Amino acid sequence: MEAKFHFPDPSVIKEELINKYPAKVAKKRGKSIVINDPETVPEVQANVRTVPGIITQRGCSYAGCKGVVLGPTRDIVNIVHGPIGCSFYAWLTRRNQTRPETPTDENYITYCFSTDMQEENVVFGGEKKLKVAIQEAYDLFHPKSIAIFSTCPVGLIGDDVHAASREMKEKLGDCNVFGFSCEGYRGVSQSAGHHIANNGVFKHMVGRNNAPVEGKFKLNLLGEYNIGGDAFEIERIFEKCGITLVASFSGNSTVGAIENSHMADLNVILCHRSINYMGDMMETKYGIPWMKVNFVGAESSAKSLRKIAEYFGDAGLKARVEEVIAEEMPKVKAIIDEIRPRTEGKTAMLFVGGSRAHHYQDLFSELGMTTVAAGYEFAHRDDYEGREVLPNIKIDADSKNIEELKVTPDPELYNPRKTEAELEELKSKGLEINGYQGMMKQMEKRSLVIDDVSHYESEKLIELYKPDIFCAGIKEKYVVQKMGVPLKQLHSYDYGGPYTGFEGAVNFYKDIDRMVNNPVWKLIKAPWEKEAGSLEASYVTQ
Amino acid sequence: MAREGLTINPAKTCQPIGAMYAALGIHGCLPHSHGSQGCCSYHRSTLTRHYKEPVMAATSSFTEGASVFGGQANLLQAIETIFTVYDPDIIAVHSTCLSETIGDDLQQITKKAKDDGKIPEGKYVIYASTPSFVGSHITGYANMVTGMAEQFSVSTGEKKEQINIIAGWMEPSDMREIKRLSKEMGVKIVLFPDTSDVLDAPQTGKHELYPKGGVTVSELQSSGDSICSLALGCISAEPAAIALEKKHKVPFETLDMPIGLSATDRFVMSLSKAAGVAVPAEITAERGRLVDVMADMEQYFHGKKVALFGDPDHLIPLTEFLLDLNMKPVHIVSGTPGQRFDKRMQEILERAPYANFKNGLNADMFLLHQWIKNEPVDLLIGNTYGKYIARDEDIPFIRFGFPILDRIGHSYFPNVGYSGSLRLVEKILSALMDRQDRTCLEEKFELVM
């Protein structure tokens, strides 16, 4: 039974959220704050510049490129070309777990590499120092790959990281060196960096190794970064089902696997925002279709497994998937039955990421909780409204600056895994082949959808809705908790997880139960603040 | 292998985060990062992880256009938006490598903001130039503290019976302890910056965008009239003291940060002399308690080798304290450059000619790790990133400095003063003794230690 949340009048709320802004800002923010209707799906302004001075959750292009997409691959030496800070802040802070097969396998995840650019490098150019750094990294570690990441000053002073990389790649011979122009000022958020990363990985890594891969059902997992061990749980489930994971982009991944990834027969996409480019490019060049799945939520995981089995169209796989689900679900159900009475009817708000604010709604719904407002930090309209709006998205100056690779079918390796007719048939069965429905169709009527929520708006939302839990990131964590509302971090998981698959769902249920029912929230007021006691002394001297 | 191009596992970060931290120590101030969004986001995240507290700051949100045409329009719009929406008393703007590379002039832009009427009456915008490609986070801190001294201080011509204490980069708990010691001594001080009651705010059920702590504008203004300044740290605090001397002829003395016995002794003596007050018996007793423990437990410190890394104004007194404890600081690394730092360390290391010390470029934790592999140590002291070395080499580890991302305590319990030093002694002892208890032979397992 759904305990329905009675939504306050959203137009009143919207007015409250923007009335303090200067007029121009209010007008702009108004377009990013939308009252949802899952039937008609109104337009959301997204992927536009944040107004300077607004306290935003957003980060930069470098964060999206190095931090998100390239960071989790364990055997690349990632050298950040720039002043020290950029590399320092991205050092281990995203919790990308990795599991080398042997203790001696290359693993650079715990390292932080930087050219530590100095004033003289900014004045006279830093390419020379960069090349020295690449040589030193090679001499010390002999890695298979070295990736170079440009930070803001690099683009401005005109250092050519691509030329430097090419030169060093040739010089070193057995090390693949490549660069990313992911300066922090590119685009309007991390999202630009995702796109730049996809382009670079596609150009410089995918397709370098054509060795055949063993296995009957071979797929790549795209947009899964193994935060808190999420990829480990998905790997466990795939293995149990007999599905071969060729490469993950990029949680718990290796250079070798990514270079060989075009040998898979399907790409499944978790985080649509950060990796959809890769899905499209691999489809065009190699003929591998991609399909949107979601392994956040037990029901969603089961559904995604069934979709994968349906894609491969193999009776044995379908049967095995059903067996696995039948084996996993009772454990999940036992926990949810115990927890749900304590979470039923509670409310959640999610403002995070480019897909998490959507996916985690599945888990909350399994807990009987309603998402009253949600939004992304760096998504585009298609992540809200669905990919059918893609042709209508206006390309503005900030997006134009991000390279769009011209991809054509590979003369030798292009091999459509399914015919057009087969794909159409799969789509008719509800598989999101090369498609994504977006967040809004799943959200309730009158709920609020807000892109790039500001600090001011989130505080107002909490005052007005008093949600039982708020999901965002580290910068918001203690602000919200100071207001007496627990905040679940959905970037770092508050150092817990995994939250994917069946075991992950159980972890999440337990964490949310603990958070929303924690006695600490009732201890905030001191006893003497609760009751105005008499100030007369209890004991007096005679 | 000596490296010239590649830094591996840095023992420093960049200037702007230091400026942001310093600005949080002004009451009613919103720090503002003039650069692309990532800088502000990274600095807020790191400070938040370190303090487990809200860290509010705004950004100029540069895009490619601003990077080409200059960031003036972004900063002017930011100032207007911030005063309208977030209503601080002060905006403290710091630059970034991006805005420095394109040559944005913060002084000129803030003047324009004032001329254009974008700064409401009674409100302030201060600024500091903090290019990330110079110095370190410590430099950025010093630059913002200098900025607040220069841009707020006035001299009325009449001296005030008060002493400026310029805090080097220290924790809110340390600042609280400096205030307690000064109060105990009966000395009126202006402490800046002051992040106590800002980054250690109580849970009240309400989020205060501007918590009750922080040095006030009127206190900062009065710093030009103070009888003198004591700068606690030759790298992170002295530049502000120099600025006040230049501008208002406020004499100053630079001290090591009062961490450990000797440095605290010098601080207490200097404060006592500057104010012309006797050191109260209670402080002498505090000192006595520290020396008592140092004497009683001396056997456990003697000859123990220590590796440490971090920031200049911490490493200087910490190294001295380790020597006072009869320990051996054998490896010391800091990414922060500075001749004053070198010189002061050389003075202290006269008592430890065996020590490896390197700071500045390529003085990083990878080098420290190599040194440790060559000459193992009994104890490692440094920020959270040290835990990887500690685990690899199985070394007892004490978290000290910035950032500490995986433990609490630094915001609440000081490292400065005699009581802070006593806490350090306790930490060192516990780390060494826990190790002994965990690894010693069964028959050597001691009940009484």
pLDDT(A2) > 60: no
Does residue A147 sit in the same domain as residue A224? no
Give residue B445's pLDDT. Answer: 98
Does residue A148 sit in the same domain as residue A233? no
Position A163, amino acid: A
Does residue A150 sit in the same domain as residue A260? no
Domain assignment present for A42:
no
Contact B75, B136 (CB under 8 A): no
Q: What is the DSSP code string of B37-57?
A: HHHHHHHHHHHHHHHSS----
Does residue A295 sit in the same domain as residue A392? yes
Give the Cα separation of B333 and B343 in Å (integer): 15
Report chain A residues whose CB lies below 8 A from the CB of B85: 20-22, 25, 53-54, 454, 456
Domain assignment present for A408:
yes
Give residue A535's pLDDT. Answer: 73
Q: What SS3 state is found at B279?
A: coil
Domain assignment present for A444:
no
Report chain A residues whose CB lies below 8 A from the CB of B135: none
Domain assignment present for A456:
no
Give the Cα separation of A492 and A189 in Å (integer): 19
For A440-493, the pLDDT digits (tens) are 999 999 999 999 999 999 999 999 999 999 999 999 999 999 999 999 999 999
CA A143 distance to own-chain centroid: 27
Mean pLDDT of A353-376: 97
Does residue A314 sit in the same domain as residue A243? yes
Give yes or no for A88 touching B (CB within 8 A).
Answer: yes
CA A188 distance to own-chain centroid: 17
Question: Any residues with CB less than 8 A from the CB of A37 and at least 6 apart, and which?
Answer: A445, A446
Catalytic residue set of A: 60, 63, 94, 194
Domain assignment present for A102:
yes
Output phi, psi for A12, to 5 deg.
-65, -45
Q: Mark yes or no for CB contact A185/B64 under 8 Å.
A: yes
Mean pLDDT of B228-240: 98
Which residue among B32, B98, B201 places its CB closest to the CB of A185?
Answer: B98
Q: How confident is the model at residue A534 (pLDDT cuts 50, 70, 90)?
A: low
Least Cα separation, residue A92 to chain B (angstroms): 9
Q: Tell which of A403, A428, A453 closes a domain.
A: A428
Give yes or no for A110 touching B (CB within 8 A).
Answer: yes
Least Cα separation, residue A185 to chain B (angstroms): 5
Give residue A416's pLDDT. Answer: 98
Give yes or no for B206 touching A (CB within 8 A).
Answer: yes
Mean pLDDT of B36-46: 98
Here the tokens at position B233 are: 């740290």
Least Cα separation, residue B341 to chain A (angstroms): 19
Domain assignment present for A515:
no
pLDDT(A183) > 50: yes
Report chain A residues whose CB lies below 8 A from the CB of B44: 475
For A92-128, the pLDDT digits (tens) are 999 999 999 999 999 999 999 999 999 999 999 999 9
**End-to-end Cα distance, chain A:** 65
Give residue A132's pLDDT. Answer: 98
pLDDT(A4) > 80: no
Q: Mark yes or no for CB contact B10/A60 under 8 Å.
A: no
What is the residue whose two structure tokens read 């004053």?
A: B340
CA A366 distance to own-chain centroid: 21
Does residue A87 sit in the same domain as residue A235? no
Q: Mark yes or no for CB contact A56/B59 under 8 Å.
A: yes
Question: Any residues with CB less than 8 A from the CB of B324 and at least 6 apart, and which?
Answer: B260, B261, B262, B294
Query: What is the DSSP pairing of strand A469-472 with strand B90-95?
Result: unpaired
For A120, other C-beta atoms within 10 Å of its C-beta total 11
Does residue A152 sit in the same domain as residue A226? no
Contact B377, B307 (CB under 8 A): yes
Burial (CB count within 10 angstroms: exposed 0-12, middle 13-18, buried 19+), residue B171: buried
Does residue A161 sit in the same domain as residue A251? no
Which residue among B49, B58, B62 places its CB closest to the CB of A185?
Answer: B62
Which residue among B12, B59, B60 places its CB closest to the CB of A84?
Answer: B12
Burial (CB count within 10 angstroms: exposed 0-12, middle 13-18, buried 19+), residue B449: exposed
Cα angle at B30 between B75 and A45, to 5 degrees?
55
Give residue A538's pLDDT. Answer: 79
Give the Cα separation of A414 and B367 in Å (integer): 48
Q: Is the ipTM of this complex over 0.85?
A: yes
Looking at the DSSP bridge assignments, the partners of residue A176 are A145
Among the ranges given (A57-66, A158-167, A523-532), the one the predictor scored with the smallest mean pLDDT: A523-532
Least Cα separation, residue A210 to chain B (angstroms): 34
Which residue among B41, B52, B79 places its CB closest to the CB of A475?
Answer: B41
Give yes or no for A50 touching B (CB within 8 A).
Answer: yes
Contact A485, A470 (CB under 8 A): yes
Does residue A222 sit in the same domain as residue A179? no
Report chain B residues whose CB lies below 8 A from the CB of A87: 7, 10
For A492-509, the pLDDT digits (tens) are 999 999 999 999 999 999
Mean pLDDT of B122-150: 98
Report chain B residues whose CB lies below 8 A from the CB of A130: 5
Query: How many helices (H) and strands (E) are present in chain B, helices listed first?
Result: 18, 14
Q: Mark yes or no for CB contact A482/B201 under 8 Å.
A: yes
Give residue A541's pLDDT. Answer: 75
SS3 content of chain A, % helix, strand, coil (to 5): 45, 15, 40
Does residue A120 sit in the same domain as residue A232? no
Domain assignment present for A157:
yes
- 3-state SS, A50-117, equals CCCCCCECCCCHHHHHHHHHHCCCCCEEEEEECCHHHHHHCCCCCCECCCCCCCCCCCCCCCCEECCC
Give yes or no for A118 touching B (CB within 8 A).
Answer: yes
Alpha helices in B185-275 (DSSP H): 217-222, 238-248, 261-275
Question: Any residues with CB less than 8 A from the CB of A267 and at least 6 apart, and which?
Answer: A219, A220, A222, A278, A279, A282, A283, A288, A289, A290, A291
CATH number at residue A403: 3.40.50.1980
Mean pLDDT of A326-341: 98
Please give the tally of structural domains in chain A.
2
Select from B144, B169, B427, B162 the least CA-distant residue to B311.
Answer: B169
Does residue A170 sit in the same domain as residue A301? no
Q: How confident is the model at residue A1 (pLDDT cuts 50, 70, 90)?
A: very low
Give residue B376's pLDDT. Answer: 98
Percentage of chain A exceeding pLDDT 90: 94
- Domains of chain B, each with CATH number or no CATH: 15-152 (3.40.50.1980), 160-278 (3.40.50.1980), 284-443 (3.40.50.1980)
Domain assignment present for A490:
no
Give the Cα separation of A242 and A123 in Å (integer): 57
Position B211, amino acid: P
Output phi, psi for B241, to 5 deg.
-65, -40
Give residue A352's pLDDT. Answer: 97
Q: How confident is the model at residue A542 (pLDDT cuts 50, 70, 90)?
A: low
- If you count residue pairs, one on A and one on B, with CB atoms under 8 Å apart, how many are there? 257
What is chain A's length?
Answer: 542
**End-to-end Cα distance, chain B:** 43
Select from A466, A453, A514, A55 the least CA-distant residue to B205.
Answer: A466
What is the residue whose two structure tokens read 């996993």?
A: A328
Give the Cα separation of A257 and A245 in Å (integer): 9
Does residue A65 sit in the same domain as residue A158? yes
Q: Tell which of A158, A184, A210 closes a domain.
A: A184
Mean pLDDT of B408-434: 98
Which residue among A49, A84, A189 places its CB closest to the CB of B13?
Answer: A84
Range of the domain at A142: 61-184
Select from B262, B283, B318, B321 the least CA-distant residue to B180.
Answer: B283
Mean pLDDT of A216-220: 98
Mean pLDDT of B148-166: 97
What is chain B's length?
Answer: 449
Query: How many helices (H) and strands (E) are present in chain A, helices listed first?
Result: 22, 14
Contact A514, A496 (CB under 8 A): no
Give the Cα separation of B380 and B363 in Å (integer): 16
The Cβ-side half-sphere exposure at A415, using a 13 Å CA radius, reads 8
Query: What is the DSSP pairing of strand A76-81 with strand A290-292?
Result: unpaired
Give yes or no for A111 touching B (CB within 8 A).
Answer: yes
Least Cα separation, residue B228 to chain A (angstroms): 35
Burial (CB count within 10 angstroms: exposed 0-12, middle 13-18, buried 19+), residue B438: exposed
Looking at the DSSP bridge assignments, the partners of residue A498 are none
Here the tokens at position A421 are: 């007719």
